[in-house]
Amino acid sequence: MPNAHSRSAFDARFADILADANSTPLALLEAVADQLRDECGLKLVTVTQRDTTDGSFLRLYSSMPDAYATSGRKPPNETPWSAQVIDRKQTFLANDYASLAAVMADHEQIRALGCESIVNIPLVLRNAVIGTLNCLAGPGHFDSDIIRACEAMRLPVATALLLYMLDA
């Protein structure tokens, strides 16, 4: 369960990685994923970058790269998910497989990884969604405390995403 001491230690670790002259966006995102797995019991953490010109998403990070690879591009997701995450810039929760399957085209692959619930958190810069933090776990996993802990990672993830953009 989320706690202040754990978050304080994460903040210090993240700041140290960021300050390192050789830091990479990948190292920052690995720190975020480690924190979310340890603190919130997540099975899979991914980060996508949104192409604001065509609405597609590029997966930049996966905590399970062998099973759920990075650099996969997803087309725009024209479902109630996009209305909530992209248009209204709100966190999306599907806490069961049926809800997840209704909005995720790759739901079978997600389920094969042992994940049946998901929280998608929009990363917003200047009123535009530039990406998402995607937190996945077993069925019924997410309660309000875990969702808040995941949402608290918006700034660290957005920082890593901006570094990806600067390095491009």
Edge-first strand listing for the sheet containing 73-74: 73-74, 57-62, 44-50, 128-137, 117-125, 92-94
How does pLDDT run along the chain (168 residues), one tens digit per residue? 566 668 889 999 999 999 999 999 999 999 999 999 999 999 999 999 999 889 889 999 999 998 888 876 777 778 889 999 999 999 999 999 999 999 988 899 999 999 999 999 999 999 999 999 999 999 999 999 999 999 999 999 999 999 998 887
The class level of CATH for 4-167 reads alpha beta
**Which contacts of 147-150 are long-range, i.e. CB under 8 A and separated by 24 or more positions?**
147/91, 147/93, 147/119, 148/2, 149/2, 149/7, 149/36, 149/39, 149/40, 150/36, 150/40, 150/42, 150/91, 150/119, 150/121
pTM for this predicted structure: 0.94
